[in-house]
Amino acid sequence: MIPGTILPQPYGQDHRSQLLKHALNLIQLLLTITANILSGMVRKPPTPYHTSILSGYHWVSELLSGHPDHIRCELGVRKETFIQLVTELRKMGFKDSKFVTLEEQLAIFLYTCVTGLTTQHVGECFQCSNDTISQYVV
């Protein structure tokens, strides 16, 4: 040891408290990142997309019971023609599916032909999934 030199003192209290603050901030940051990653992994329950009160079945019923020009405007055929088409399709062996009546199936096809709308837009009108609409258009 050299005479007159001062030995280094251990770190002071201020330095220790700063290190502790930095360590706590780092831990808080790591916990926040971990929570964000884990929350992205948890599957949230799906939110229903088709929630209109007027289902496809009810819309078709409204067309059939409403003003004659309404069904012609929306589906491109008169009420009598629509009913005759449904009757002929039934004779040919077509029938209601588990969730979609034959009348709805025909209406989906005709509405798509008349409007040229996308599957998604037609699905919104009939309150059906894109897959369901595709079954009756293609």
pLDDT of 28-75, one tens digit each?
Answer: 988 888 887 777 766 777 777 767 788 889 999 999 999 989 999 999
Q: What is the pLDDT of residues 78-128, one digit of tens each?
A: 999 999 999 999 999 999 999 899 999 999 999 999 999 999 999 888 888
What three-state secondary structure class fits 86? Answer: helix
Domain parsing of the chain, residue ranges: 56-137
For residue 115, the model assigns a pLDDT of 93
Which residues lie closer than 8 Å to 64 by C-beta, 6 or more apart?
71, 79, 82, 83, 103
Lowest mean pLDDT among 2-6, 21-25, 64-68, 81-85: 2-6
Which residues lie closer than 8 Å to 89 by C-beta, 6 or more apart?
102, 106
pTM above 0.85, yes or no: no
For residue 9, the model assigns a pLDDT of 57
For residue 11, the model assigns a pLDDT of 61
Whole-number Å distance between alpha carbons of 91 and 83: 13
Whole-number Å distance between alpha carbons of 63 and 59: 6
With tokens 């992205």, the residue in question is 40
Q: Pick the closest to residue 120 from 134, 109, 138 (CA basis).
A: 134
Report yes or no: 72 and 110 within 8 Å, Cβ to Cβ.
no
